Amino acid sequence: MIVQNLRASREDIDVKQKDVAKFFKLHYSTISGWETGKDTIPIEKLIEYANQYSISLDYLFGIISRNQKYYSFDLDLELLAKNLTELRLKNNLTQEYVAKKLNTTQAAYSHYENALNIIPTSFLFGLTKIYKPFSIDKLFGRKRIIP
């Protein structure tokens, strides 16, 4: 399952599927599909959810085992592209290598590093398998709330 802790995060904050569905203006069966892994939640919706309930993207993807609270943020494609490029170069990898691991083409992957397209949720999950350690929150430039 790509988003491993979506249901757990919802239950932790005592929110029902119908409440999340109402927030997104979607049918509750869509939320159920996201939670069971039947459907992939679009990254834009996942960001909205994380912002609404102050939930870590790293927690939702199962990178960390306990939620950490984060400030809301707006998706910045330029920052995301810059961070994707820096991460790849820091690990001495080529776009071709990363693309192959994500089961896509180098040309398609280059669009994420050039801020032409937002990287899909499934590819973000794939990055967790390529890079260790890895933080999706950091990739998006998200700031943690320090208690």
Question: Over the stretch 23-80, which tens digit does the pLDDT of each residue have?
Answer: 999 999 999 999 998 999 999 999 999 999 999 999 999 999 999 999 999 999 999 9
Plot region of 15 (φ>0 → left; ψ -120 to 50 → alpha; else → beta):
beta
Specify if 100 maps to a domain. Answer: yes
Please report whether residue 145 resides in a domain.
no
Please tell me the pTM assigned to this model: 0.91
The answer to whether residue 144 sits within a structural domain is no
Q: To 10 degrees, the CA torsion angle through 66, 67, 70, 73?
A: 120
What value does the mean pLDDT of the chain take? Answer: 94
Q: What are phi and psi of 70, to 5 degrees?
A: -130, 150
- Has residue 2 got a pLDDT over 80? no
121 falls within a domain = yes
In a domain, 128, yes or no: yes
Q: Does residue 99 lie within any of the structural domains?
A: yes
Region 14-23 average pLDDT: 94
Going from the C-alpha of 22 to that of each of 16, 25, 49, 104, 138, the distances in angstroms are: 10, 5, 12, 34, 29
Residue 134, classified by CB atoms within 10 Å of its CB into exposed (0-12), middle (13-18) or buried (19+), is: middle
**CATH number for 11:** 1.10.260.40
Same domain, 42 and 85: no
Task: For residue 146, name the pLDDT band (cuts at 50, 70, 90).
Answer: confident
Residue 51 lies in a domain: yes
Are the C-beta atoms of residues 101 and 126 closer than 8 Å to each other? yes
What pLDDT, on a 0 to 100 scale, did the predictor assign at position 22?
95
* Residue 68 forms part of a structural domain: no
In this predicted structure, the answer to whether residue 93 has a pLDDT above a threshold of 90 is yes
Structural domain range at position 29: 6-60
Overall number of domains in the chain: 2
Which tokens sit at 108? 């398609």
- Residue 1 pLDDT > 90: no
Same domain (yes/no): 49, 83: no
